[in-house]
Amino acid sequence: MPKKANVKLKKIKAKIKEHINEAVPQSNINYCLTCGLCVSGCPASGLEGLDPRKFLRLIVLGQDEEILGTDWIYSCTMCARCKYACPMGIDIGRIVYELRGMRPKDKRPPNLQRSCDLQKKSNSTGIPNEDFVWVVGDVLEEVHQNEPDWADLKAPIDKKGAKYYLNQNAKEPTVEPEEMVPLWKILHAAGIDWTYSSKWWDGANYCLFTGDPQDWEYTVRKQAETVDSLGCRYYINTE
Ligand code: SF4
Ligand code: SF4
């Protein structure tokens, strides 16, 4: 019988691996073949010194400190390309989402967290709802004055019973308001009956990117309630 090696094996904690196995059971990370197909089309490959295959190896090998210490999870765009390339169907973007949610809020990229926090109050840039309403009216007036062909262009807000509800990326009314106009023109030319809302009008949802399902759901529910209260039939999400 061979002698037992006189080496105490360090117990690997691998808390992250445990969590991923529970939270993303459809992606069995133990099945990774280290084939590297996930790396081939990954836009985050090589950033922060990692690629999806190396990242996954760190999890499988229980290297929790390295995983928690890297910002690569914010380089991954969660685009899911790797999932479709992977012969074992491992969804690295989904795993990254879990890991983002595991980060304490004060250790996340501040701008990302701030946008999510603001989103839960109203919109991701924090501009007052009255300013949104004013900007829409002001831009519309400018179009009427300067573009005779679009003198009857409309940008309705809180129009009860409109068939389509349209949301808006908050960045546009905040920093580039004229960028809202092309979509208004398309809807107008297509004869679409639409409306914005004066509240919960922001279509972006940064809480998806912070990995907070409760916060994400909260803002989506607020938007859905607004659509219902206006009696709209379809929801056009611009994001
Ligand atoms: S493609 Fe899938 S199996 Fe291959 S290295 Fe990437 S995660 Fe592992
Ligand atoms: S989800 Fe992340 S790891 Fe996968 S291809 Fe996209 S950026 Fe790369």
The pTM score is 0.81
Ligand closest to CA 90: 1
Q: Which CATH number fits domain 15-103: 3.40.50.2300, 1.10.150.240, 1.10.1060.10, 3.90.1150.10?
A: 1.10.1060.10
pLDDT digits (tens, 9 = 90+) for 224-233: 999 999 999 9
Ligand closest to CA 95: 2
Map out the domains of the chain as residue ranges.
15-103, 113-236
More reliable by pLDDT, 68 or 152: 152
Which ranges in 147-180 belong to alpha helices (H)?
171-175
Asked if 132 contacts 201 with a C-beta cutoff of 8 angstroms, the reply is yes
Could you give the strand order of the β-sheet that contains 164-166, starting from the edge strand earlier in sequence? 194-195, 164-166, 234-236
pLDDT digits (tens, 9 = 90+) for 144-175: 999 999 999 999 999 999 999 999 999 999 99
Q: What is the mean pLDDT of residues 14-40?
A: 92
Closest protein CA for atom 3 of ligand 2: 52
Asked if residue 10 has pLDDT above 90, the reply is no
Q: What is the mean pLDDT of residues 174-199?
A: 97
* Residue 127, CB-side half-sphere exposure with 13 Å CA sphere: 19
